[in-house]
Amino acid sequence: MSNVKSGAEAWDARFSGKGWAYGREPNRWLEERISPLTPGKASFPADGEGRNAVWAATKGWEAHVFDLSPVGQNKCQSLANENGVEVSYEVDDLETREFSQEDFDLIACSWFHVPWDMFTIHYPRMLNSLKIGGHFITEGYHTSQMEMSSGGPKSLDLLWELDEVMDTIGNGFEVLHAAVETTILDESDLHRGKAHVVRIHLVRSN
């Protein structure tokens, strides 16, 4: 049985539990790469229950989220309240969202997998909302994650090949890091254990 969930209802169902589906702490790769940066205006696309955006807000970032899930929005609000910070969260779809141009100092997302046709058209549109000099940081599952039990969609159409991702989004960016890595995840029961991931950190150059 596939665990691919693409509609808002499926994500709402995943986020309807009492706990946080992917934990309350930020994604470790995002935390490591964002921590040395000077806080500014940041977009956290598809941040689900808001763990990355809320953490960034506690570090001084002006944090904005868009995501399909209204339940995720409520969970993010609750986490933001607990931490005494504000996060702007719009329920919206990558496919239809209108993006501002050269607006953000940082765009960061973890596990934002969409069908490849959607990725090729809409990730570049999303990245146009980054200022020149702005950072794009992401972690996603590699195609070789298919055989692993530490999370991620069981569909090659949603998983990432590094070369294909970089061919799609790398033009006009300086590459600070772009690699397939084996790591040990410990985010939640859904993302725990040895995993094959793609880790990317780019800076917009034009």
Ligand X SMILES: C[S@@+](CC[C@H](N)C(=O)[O-])C[C@H]1O[C@@H](n2cnc3c(N)ncnc32)[C@H](O)[C@@H]1O
Residues 4-23 that bind ligand X (CB under 6 A): 11, 22
Residues 97-116 that bind ligand X (CB under 6 A): 109-112, 114
State the CB neighbour count (10 A cutoff) for residue 38. 8
Q: According to the binding rule CB under 6 A, does residue 141 interact with ligand X?
A: no
Q: Which stretch binds ligand X (CB under 6 A): 61-69, 81-89, 177-185, 197-205?
A: 61-69
Residue from 29, 33, 43, 48 touching ligand X (CB under 6 A): that is 48
Q: According to the binding rule CB under 6 A, does residue 138 interact with ligand X?
A: no
Strands 41-45 and 62-67: parallel
DSSP H or E segment with residue 77: helix 70-83
What Cα–Cα distance (Å) separates residue 178 from each residue in 46, 73, 163? 21, 30, 9
Q: According to the binding rule CB under 6 A, does residue 46 interact with ligand X?
A: yes
Under 8 Å between Cβ of 115 and 185: no
d(CA 53, CA 191): 19
Q: According to the binding rule CB under 6 A, does residue 198 interact with ligand X?
A: no
Residue from 9, 90, 95, 186 touching ligand X (CB under 6 A): that is 95
Q: According to the binding rule CB under 6 A, does residue 33 interact with ligand X?
A: no
